[in-house]
Amino acid sequence: MKPKVYLETSVISYLASRPSRDLIMAAHQQITQDWWEKRRDKFELLVSQLVLQEVSGGDKRAAERRTEFVKGLAQVQTTDEVVALAQKLLQASALPTSEFADAVHVALAAVHGIDYLVTWNLKHIANAATRHQIESACRESGFEPPIICTPEELMEE
């Protein structure tokens, strides 16, 4: 059985965007493309309705490119448990109260027992300073937290 990966929207955005002139962003884009080409088949990839909403917004052509990457991927559903855990994550200050969507991404992965939440959102989700709070809030609610990481961290066997 393949490990399950929840793809947060930033990963899809990096896959579909034009090469950046910013060196760090360009490196993240290349790493993401390498992971997509070389490693994605090692995992069961999952998204949510929230990811589909987020990738379909903005510039029409960019949205079409992003949407192409998520076509055919399995979806996890937002349930009452997901919403409750997202609210708990915000109440526990694991994520800023203004970032409900980010809390929902984490909650979706935890509630559905997904092994990895893959993201480039280093500010709110893949943040070493808040990781303990995210994990504690998940466990206090009865869920094992996903391993939150970037595509780079899933490059090796």
Where are the chain's structural domains? 4-154
- Which distant-in-sequence residues (6+ apart) come within 8 Å of 49 by Cβ? 75, 77, 78
Say if residue 157's pLDDT is above 70: no
User: Mean per-residue pLDDT for 116-124?
Assistant: 96
Instruction: Please give the CATH architecture assigned to the domain spanning 4-154.
Output: 3-Layer(aba) Sandwich (3.40)
Q: Does the predicted model carry a pTM greater than 0.85?
A: yes
Q: Give pLDDT, residue 156.
A: 78
User: Mean per-residue pLDDT for 118-131?
Assistant: 95
- Which distant-in-sequence residues (6+ apart) come within 8 Å of 73 by Cβ? 7, 45, 46, 47
User: Mean per-residue pLDDT for 33-61?
Assistant: 96
Question: How far apart, in whole angstroms, are the C-alpha atoms of residue 105 and residue 90?
Answer: 12
